[in-house]
Amino acid sequence: MANYQLGPEFQNWDSKENWESIQNWQPPEDLRIIYRTVPGPEENQEIEIKIYLPKEAAGPLPMIMNIHGGGWVAGTYENDNTRVAHLALEVPAVVVSLNYRLAPAHVFPDALMDCVQVWNWMRDHADELGGDPEKMGLYGTSAGGNLCAGLAFYVRDNGGPRIALSVLNTPALGLGPSLSAEQMRFDAALLSGQDLAQGVRVYLGGLKGKDPSYYAVPNVARDFSGLPPTFLIAAECDPLRDESLEYMAHLLREAIPVELHLIPGALHGFNAVLTPTAQWLNEGIVRAYQREFFWRI
């Protein structure tokens, strides 16, 4: 039996009503939504993107790329409408979400290369988007947080638009095992410990006796220098909790600015639903982007 206790506001998180609220989201009147495709990294490939544009804000605006979760095998950009709309309106910013290729049909590095492609496309089309190519940030949840961290390493090593801030929301960053994964092994809500190793292996296409790339499993990196300021969200009752704490320690050793929020009684991906804690956290994320876009530029 897992040794954890969800907080009161998260005990009914996995309810029919909450899932329906995510699926039936309607955009605010002051937000413009554009669906389109952009060229992918492979010949004849197209990547679906969803663009969130504040109607009233004067540009050029900062730009944020949002990467959804789903264990690398599921999910779409529609998962994140509530928090992405809040970012777009309150920072304010142009936010671009993408549907990257999913495993097992597409294994590493396909999803990461899709993210690299859209990241560079945003810079190259900043004028069209009403965005500022000098103020660009990342936001990723779960597997999307993994892709944000992998992208940060990739940009450091290979060049690309500067990342002003990377927000990693209950991210998958390691291979395990960890104390939190063992605690949540059998009956943790939404994500349990026994799901983790298989999910990473599906994304990698199997380990095949080799060490994984740190672009795929960021915590195996030897060198964490040169990474962007990072906002880390961890949940007490999440099998991925300790991976975030390990990643934070790596960044701090390199004197990289880190803001950590470890939420008591919360479960993996808890802020997909607007509980009071999620609303409080969303305001903190807005302020963090404003700090990095307008103060430390």
**Catalytic: which of 68, 86, 261, 268?**
268
Find out whether 10 and 267 touch, Cβ atoms under 8 Å: yes
Q: Give the pair of three-digit tokens for residue 172.
A: 């998958």
**Catalytic: which of 86, 114, 142, 250?**
142
CA distance 206 to 204: 5
**Catalytic: which of 110, 132, 238, 242?**
238
Residues in the chain: 297
CA distance 217 to 53: 32
CA dihedral sign of residues 274, 277, 279, 283: negative
User: In the annotation, is 238 catalytic?
Assistant: yes
Q: How far is CA 229 from CA 38, 83, 86, 178, in A?
A: 28, 20, 21, 25
Q: In this structure, what is the dihedral angle of CA atoms 44, 146, 62, 156, given to the nearest 10 degrees?
A: -80
List active site positions. 142, 238, 268
